[in-house]
Amino acid sequence: MRHPVFSVLLAFTFPLAAGYAADTAPSAPVPSAAMPAPAPAPPAVPGVQKSVFGTTADGTEVDMYTLTNHHGFTAKIITYGATIAALDVPDRDGKTVSVVKGAATLAAYLRGFSNPAAASIMGRVANRISGAKFTLDGKEYVLADNAGGNSIHGGKVGYDKKVWTAEVPDSPDGPAVKLTYVSKDGEEGFPGTLTSSLTYTMTETNALRLGYVSTTDKPTLVNLLSHAYFNLAGTGDISAHEVMINADLQTIMGPNGLVTGEIGPVKDTPVDFRTAITMSKAAARLAPGGRFDHSFIINRAQGDTGMALAASVYDPASGRSMEVWTTQPGVQLYTIQFGAAPGRGRGGRGPGGAGGHANDFYCFETQHFPDAIHHENFPSIVLRPGETAASTTEYRFSVRPAAAVTAN
């Protein structure tokens, strides 16, 4: 029986031309009162700066592109994994810190910091594919089993471990870099040569925009996402941070982190984030040592494939606030085990690869639904020749005054 939201979800079947159009639309303006000047020394240089970040074992150069807008917001993007190495955002006093986990050297990424504790791009199919195989047009394709009998984040050597090519495009909205990776036919078991580009833009409205575009020469699958690990305080426990997810529905989770294909309400469940709640109170709903790793269906009007609010997070101590807007149909909240020992558990490393507190990050992964190829009621992730898979996500930043009311 067709679920009532099925007609809405069908709007997200490829091609996503409407989503690509949104990539060129400006971000919603942030009030000037919410834009304090960054720390004055040293002054940020607006524009794009290129530098060498390191060299891989085979001699491939990895570059860093530093994107700085006129308000002192800076994104540092490296070509290894198309990774956000740093995202510098000022607080209510003008103090600037990076709000994403990143490493200071390429060696740290190559040692394994890039998976899963870095803001890299996952693909060609992020999240899980059950059974590590799928059938497309009557042919079965076998993938790498790298997640307990399933395939996750594109396989053993996914997009997060590739060196992307880079160019600096003309951009009216702020400094930008365009990264491209060509995945050959058969790579990690997937059919077709898939060409994907990702344009990072540090907009003058203080948003980091990610614009994805993919094309293929054979029918294939694609679901790209950024696995950015955020902490609006920069470092430290995020228990007091307030999270809201704009979703009345979720994709129901079964065993082994796999979705069942069912769609259900978040109301009266541990994953009800419709009203902002501190992470400590949200974690108290979980079993001891539990974590959030749940996929949500973003609230939208029927047929709307434009930019929509997916989630928001606020750090009362610094005043930093972030809204996540996207053209994608879903967002996954990911944390690690609450209450785990410092530096322990998946993703338990701090910036620079050092041991960090286990409760010090949250991910908002904008994407199509997990394991979509095995659930016909989910928006399709099949891409065919002549089609374009395109989407846009923005991380929009502002600062609240100290007197702002916090979540209950």
Other CB atoms closer than 10 Å to residue 198's CB: what's the count?
22
Q: What is the DSSP letter of 188?
A: G
Contacts of 243 (CB under 8 A, 6+ apart): 273, 276, 277, 278, 279, 282, 311, 312, 313, 333, 362
Kind and range of the H or E element at 108? Answer: helix 106-108
Q: What share of the chain is helix, strand, coil (3-state, %, to 5)?
A: 10, 35, 50
CA distance 242 to 352: 25
Residues forming a β-bridge with 197? 180, 213
pLDDT at residue 408 in the model: 57
Which residue matches tokens 């060609």? 124
- Supply the pLDDT for residue 356: 41
What's residue 60's pLDDT? Answer: 97
d(CA 380, CA 360): 34
> Considering 204, 365, 368, 375, which one is annotated as catalytic?
365
First to last CA, the chain: 39
- The pLDDT value recorded for residue 255 is 78
Q: Are 329 and 12 in contact (CB under 8 A)?
A: yes
Q: The CATH number of 6-397 is which of 3.40.50.300, 2.70.98.10, 2.40.70.10, 3.60.10.10?
A: 2.70.98.10
368 tagged catalytic: no
Give the model's pLDDT for residue 141.
Answer: 98
CA dist 118 and 101 (Å) reads 6
- Which one from 227, 241, 357, 375 is the annotated catalytic residue? 227
CA distance 229 to 154: 19
Look at residues 334, 357, 333 and name the one whose alpha carbon lies nearest to residue 344. Answer: 357
Report pLDDT for 338.
72
* 3 noted as active-site residue: no
- Position 222, amino acid: V
Residue at token pair 């606030």: 321
The confidence score (pLDDT) of residue 43 equals 57
Q: Is 363 helix (H, G, I), strand (E, B) or coil?
A: strand
What pTM was computed for the model?
0.88
3-state class (DSSP) for residue 18: helix
Task: Return d(Cα 264, Cα 253) in angstroms, integer.
Answer: 10
Spatial separation of the C-alpha atoms in residues 404 and 408, rounded to whole Å: 13
The residue extents of the domains of the chain are 6-397
What DSSP designation does 109 have? I
Residue whose pair of structure tokens reads 């639309």 in the numeric block: 25
DSSP code of 203? Answer: -
Chain centroid, CA 95 distance in Å? 25
Sequential pLDDT tens for the chain (408 residues): 444 454 455 566 655 443 333 333 334 433 434 444 444 445 568 999 999 999 999 999 999 999 999 999 999 999 999 999 999 999 999 999 999 999 999 999 998 764 555 899 999 999 999 999 999 999 999 999 999 999 999 999 999 999 999 999 999 999 999 999 999 999 999 999 999 999 999 999 999 999 999 999 999 999 999 999 999 999 999 999 999 999 999 999 997 789 999 999 999 999 999 999 999 999 999 988 889 999 999 999 988 989 999 999 999 999 999 999 999 999 999 986 676 554 444 433 333 333 344 468 999 999 999 999 999 999 999 999 999 999 999 999 999 998 655 565
pLDDT value at position 53? Answer: 98
